[in-house]
Amino acid sequence: MSEDPSVQVSGGAHGLSVALEEMGDAAAYLRLLGPRLMYECGYLAVIGVHPALLEAQAVAQAKGVLSGHPAQGARILQQVLAIGGSGARCSGIAEAASLGYLSLQLAGVVALYRVANKVAEEAVETLRDATMEALSHVAPLLLLGAGGAAVVAEVTGADLAGGLDEMLYDQPWLTDVAVGGSDGFIRGLAEADPRGGLVLAAAAVRAGVPFPPQDAQDATAILAEVGQAMGGLEDGIPDQARTEVVSTTLAPGPAGLADLATTEVELGRGPGAEVRIVQVPQSDGSSAWIVQLPGTQRWGVKAGDNPFDLTTDVVAMTGAATVAAVGTRRALETAMARAGRTGGSDPVMLVGHSEGGILAASLAADPTFRERHSVRAVVTFGAPVASFEIPRTVSVLSVEHTQDPVPRLDGAENPDAPNWTTAKIDLGDRLDRATASHDSARYAESAETLDTLIAEGSQPSLTEFSTAASPFLDGAGPATVTDVRLERTLPHPPPADPPAPIPLGEADTLALRERQQLLRAWQ
């Protein structure tokens, strides 16, 4: 068995929260054992005056003398006294007291750890907010600086974005500070410029979140609202999501995390806007279903037909329903209907890279989706999913690269819960840019490493997740693979044909000629 130092596994069935729960249970158990031991110790303490021993003592003395064997009587007497002494010595009352003390210490440490953890989290959050609040006061200067940097880049050809990319790779915590303090950043912006404050406050009212924002999720909702007011980030009407089955084929079912990640690479490099539904036959005649969602494919601020875009990224992070999520549900139900499987009893696993991971987590956290489908597992690669409230009945595995800024965009660590395992892989000096560490192909390589660790059994939380995911990843028998294209219906679609040019009138033509003459004279 070997341990890969570049892989850090937290949470899951053997995570810290479970350890704390177990320590609490252990303390309670020790408290129960104490009284049992005390009862036995009480018996041992009085053994020296036990009626059988006292009777033996008296009988031995009398019979020894009467029968003419005083030496034998004396030896028996010694034996009785020795037994009484032994019983007194091994009373073990001190041992019972030690058990009780250990139990109290254990319970105390668990409580102390929980309090200390909470205090530390609040201290970090305050520090982030203070940093970003201070930063927002100099936002105009930063904008000037950015403009200056753009001019320098234009003149010198210096790759400043590339520089930032490299810096984020080396200092990934910068993303935490920036994102974790986004609510502080917005508060600071409002204080720096009251007009901006009014705009942000109005956006908060429209988004239905408090102002000033209380956390990074509130801040994201406000920024999304501002983006929409500026004509961007406007998702379509989720119920009008369109789906079209592109292909249905038979292929070997996935046998591990690497197969899931490889499919994410294929979806990312494919024609776009497609999700993959994999029907894995089970030995009892039922089916398990894997839903694979791609990452962001369009980065423009304006929403288009393809729902796997920046708009879905932002809207999904606010927790709102998205066209992509509704379309994915319809894709799954279409594939199920084609296979003659109806009802919500078949187990479902949701898998996604980047935005696909956000959508997978949002579906697993959506009670309406869970009412229709039995979600058992979620696998995310490089996705910010910490804020989604996924129930404990769903086993989650989040795979993240330490240098990848994207999983950090929610400004929070994934929960350390019995059902939620996070595997962080440090890419070391294998790459040099943060964006490269987000590539799905790099995640496919890391997934192979995790498969190896699962096979070795060296990471108990990973092993537990693998067991929970076994109906989906047995790799036996052919699976039915259905690719479904999703399409967004835009709320304000562009006109089908460009408007016809308005013909110039005679007066316009004259005015134009006059201008042209004046221009020539001036030149």
Partner 1 sequence: MPVASALEQLAARLDATAAEVRSVSTGVGNTGEMLWSGTAAVLFRAGVHQRRVELDRLAAGVGRVAGRVRELAASMDSLLGDDDS
Give the Cα separation of 423 and 20 in Å (integer).
Answer: 20
Give the Cα separation of 278 and 375 in Å (integer).
Answer: 14
The minimum distance between CB 193 and partner 1, in angstroms, equals 47
Nearer to partner 1, 117 or 509 (CB): 117
DSSP 79: H
Placement of tokens 């109806």 in the chain = 342
Nearer to partner 1, 73 or 181 (CB): 73
The minimum distance between CB 45 and partner 1, in angstroms, equals 11
The minimum distance between CB 98 and partner 1, in angstroms, equals 6
Nearer to partner 1, 44 or 490 (CB): 44
Nearer to partner 1, 57 or 131 (CB): 57
The minimum distance between CB 255 and partner 1, in angstroms, equals 29
User: Which helix (H) or strand (E) element contains residue 446?
Assistant: helix 440-456
The minimum distance between CB 86 and partner 1, in angstroms, equals 5
Residues of this chain that bind partner 1 (CB under 8 A) = 14, 16, 18-20, 22-23, 25-26, 29-30, 32-33, 36-37, 40, 43-44, 47, 50-53, 55-56, 59-60, 63-64, 67, 69, 72-73, 75-76, 79-80, 82-83, 86-87, 89-90, 92, 95, 98-99, 102, 105-106, 109-110, 113
Q: 3-state SS of 181-205?
A: CHHHHHHHHHHHCHHHHHHHHHHHH
The minimum distance between CB 30 and partner 1, in angstroms, equals 6
The minimum distance between CB 450 and partner 1, in angstroms, equals 19
Tokens representing 459 are 């990471």
Reduce the DSSP state of residue 482 to 3 states and report it: strand
Nearer to partner 1, 95 or 244 (CB): 95
Work out whether strand 7-11 and strand 420-425 pair parallel, antiparallel, or are unpaired. antiparallel
Reduce the DSSP state of residue 29 to 3 states and report it: helix
Give the Cα separation of 169 and 435 in Å (integer).
Answer: 8
Give the Cα separation of 195 and 422 in Å (integer).
Answer: 42
Placement of tokens 């006109």 in the chain = 495
Tokens representing 388 are 């989604």
Give the Cα separation of 94 and 104 in Å (integer).
Answer: 15
The minimum distance between CB 24 and partner 1, in angstroms, equals 9
Nearer to partner 1, 23 or 320 (CB): 23
Nearer to partner 1, 109 or 134 (CB): 109
The string of DSSP letters for 293-355 reads E----B--SS--S-SSBHHHHHHHHTT---HHHHHHHHHHHHHHHHTT--SS-SEEEEEEETH
Nearer to partner 1, 74 or 139 (CB): 74
